[in-house]
A and B are shown apart, each in its own frame.
Chain A
Amino acid sequence: MALVEIRDVRKTFGKVEVLKGVSLDVEEGEIVTIIGRSGSGKSTLLRCINALESVDSGEIWVEGQKVHAKMSDLKKFRQRVGIVFQAFNLFPHLKVERNITLAPLLTGRIEKAKARALAEDVLTRVGLADKIDAWPEQLSGGQQQRVAIARCLAMAPHLMLFDEVTSALDPELVGEVLKVMEAMAEQGMTMILVTHEMGFARNVADRIVFMHQGRVWEQGPPAKLFANPETPELASFIASAK
């Protein structure tokens, strides 16, 4: 059984059908990158996976559990599925340490005495151990995004979702965030990312999913997909992304 199973999911916003029957499986430990033009439904699909958006029809299963906004253990479920956003969304009124330890403490995952050690541990993994006492706005965009990743890691998620996490960053800051994600990939984290970073998609992903007009248009291993796109839509997308 796959870690994530998406079955014929449809989603409409107003009059626009954003997802027109998407099916996708993601195995444990797999790194799947979703690419496609703006408006192809990539981010919506990602947000459906942790029930930030509800689906109109179809089903999403994560670890054998059916996902929907009214599931009784939604909070527990969200602790197992981390998501990192384009806009970081750190809590500006809390220092880095508290940003990281707030949820683990409130959800009873750790005790107070172990909170700082946890923050130190996850910050070390994103290379920011020295920023534990900083305020979010004292950090660069790349550092803020790494703290956001550390905040997710502190919940020890089984699955990580990345929603265009480098799109809001200055070009010279993109690398440091991608490096952290690469390290997570090497450690076996299951990851689904929506990204415009074709280089990263090519080098790190196990599988590329190309979405077009609300559907999974084409998918496969990066080498094959980039070298021999089967559909003209993917070919033109790859050409334009270069």
Chain B
Amino acid sequence: MRSFSLIDFVSLFAALRWTVALVVLALLFGAPLALGLALGRISRFASLRWAMAACIQVIQSVPLLGLLFFFYFGMPVFLGIQVPALVAVTVAYTLYTAAFLGEIWRGGLEAVKQAQWEAGACLGLSAWQQFRHIIAPQALRLSLPPTVGFLVQLIKGTSLASILGFVELARAGQVVSAATFQPLLTYALVAAIYFALCLPLTLWSRSLEARLDGSR
């Protein structure tokens, strides 16, 4: 046993990079997929809408822990495919992000009145131009608070990657706490770091909301 020292501090902050890396990976692959799912959900083709809804339903129904287990421990057993841990967590967090963001963004897109699409079409704009310049900016503003809310969830959700051996913030907390026998101090510090990570996001979201809402 040793006392809590600078080295513990450093190891907590060093572990933070995994937390950040997992969030970045999840967004990098998950956000484009989420956009695809959202567009599929509002498509005029019923079969596509159903397929996307089914995907989202399945992913949302499985606990994040279950997704992680499946891609790391389950796939080798069921499909005979063993992937590195990093690939497994990236896929799991990507699907998780895509399903939840996709549904949030679909809600935002559908909240913009149908007449806005029509007004764009009547001015000779293509469907993509209508989406890009008329619908998406309005949907973005509407979706911003729940999107940032999900981001905060995601940041905290990365702690589950520790079960596959990733020494991210929560896991580093365990290690430090075991080494120093100072669980209260250690976990308070871990909590403070999570808080410091999430608070600016919330504040940024608020200011962005105000800025996008230029007319009010």
Known A75-B124, A155-B123; contact A93-B138, beta-carbon cutoff 8 A: yes
Which of chain B's residues have a CB closer than 8 A to the CB of A103?
Answer: 120, 123-125
A92 in contact (CB, < 8 A): yes
Given known contacts A107-B125, A151-B123, A89 and B133 CB-to-CB distance under 8 angstroms: no
- Cβ-neighbour of A93 out of B113, B118, B137 (below 8 A): B137
- 8 A Cβ contacts from A92-110 to B: 92-93, 95, 102-103, 106-107
Total CB contacts across the A-B interface at under 8 A = 64
Is B86 an interface residue when CB atoms closer than 8 A count as contact? no
Is A214 part of the binding interface, using a Cβ–Cβ cutoff of 8 Å?
no
A87: which B residues are within 8 A, CB to CB?
A: 115
Tell me the smallest distance from the CB of B93 to a CB of chain A, in Å.
32
Q: B118 near A52 (CB under 8 angstroms)? A: yes
Residue among B119, B137, B138, B216 with most chain A CB within 10 A? B119
Q: Specify which chain A residues have a CB less than 8 angstroms from the CB of B122 in the assembled complex.
A: 50, 52, 78, 82-83
> 0/1 per residue, B186-216, Cβ < 8 Å to A?
0000000000000000000000000010111
B14 within 8 A of A: no
Indicate which residue in B113, B115, B124 contacts A107 across the interface (CB closer than 8 Å): B124
Residue contact A76 to B215, C-beta cutoff 8 Å: no
- A97 CB to nearest chain B CB (Å): 13
Closest CB of chain A to B144's CB: distance in Å? Answer: 13
**Chain A residues closer than 8 Å to B212, beta-carbon distance:** 93
Whether B215 and A93, one on each chain, are in contact in the complex, defined by CB atoms closer than 8 angstroms, is yes
Interface size on A, residues (CB 8 A): 28
B214 touches which one: A83, A135, A151 (CB < 8 A)? A135
Chain A residues in 8 Å Cβ range of B126: 75
Q: Using an 8 Å CB-CB cutoff, how does the interface string of B108-124 with A read, 1 for contact, 0 for none?
A: 00000101101111111
Residue A136 CB within 8 A of the other chain: yes
B124/A93 in contact, CB under 8 A: no
Do the beta carbons of B121 and A89 come within 8 Å of each other? no
Contacts of B137 in A (CB 8 A): 93
- Known contacts A75-B126, A78-B124, A107-B125; decide if A89 and B115 are in contact (CB<8 Å): yes
Shortest C-beta distance, A167 to chain B (Å), equals: 15
- B49 in contact (CB, < 8 A): no
Given A85-B115, A89-B118, verify A75-B138 contact (CB < 8 Å).
Answer: no
Q: Are B116 and A75 in contact (CB under 8 A)?
A: no
In the bound complex, do residue B124 and residue A79 qualify as a contact, i.e. CB atoms below 8 Å apart?
A: yes
Name B123's closest neighbour in chain A (CB-CB): A103
Q: Mark A135-166, 1 if CB is under 8 A from B, else 0.
A: 11110000000000001100100000000000
Residues of B within 8 A of A78 (CB): 121-124
Residues of A within 8 A of B118 (CB): 52, 85, 89
The answer, yes or no, to whether B82 is at the interface (CB within 8 Å) is no
B156 CB–A CB distance under 8 Å: no
Does B134 touch A at the CB level, under 8 Å? yes
Return the CB mask of A37-81 against B: 1 if under 8 Å, else 0: 000000000000010100000000000000000000001111100
B residues in contact (CB < 8 Å) with A: 113, 115-116, 118-126, 129, 133-134, 137-138, 141, 212, 214-216
Binding site for B on A (CB under 8 A): 50, 52, 75-79, 82-83, 85, 87, 89-93, 95, 102-103, 106-107, 135-138, 151-152, 155
Query: Can you offer 24 A-B residue contacts whose CB atoms are under 8 A?
Result: A52-B121, A52-B122, A75-B124, A75-B125, A76-B124, A78-B121, A78-B122, A79-B123, A82-B122, A85-B118, A90-B119, A91-B134, A91-B138, A93-B138, A93-B141, A93-B212, A95-B214, A102-B133, A107-B123, A136-B215, A137-B215, A137-B216, A152-B123, A155-B123
Task: Beyond A82-B122, A91-B134, A107-B124, list 11 extra A-B contacts (CB 8 Å).
Answer: A79-B123, A85-B115, A89-B115, A91-B138, A92-B215, A93-B138, A93-B215, A95-B214, A103-B123, A135-B215, A151-B123
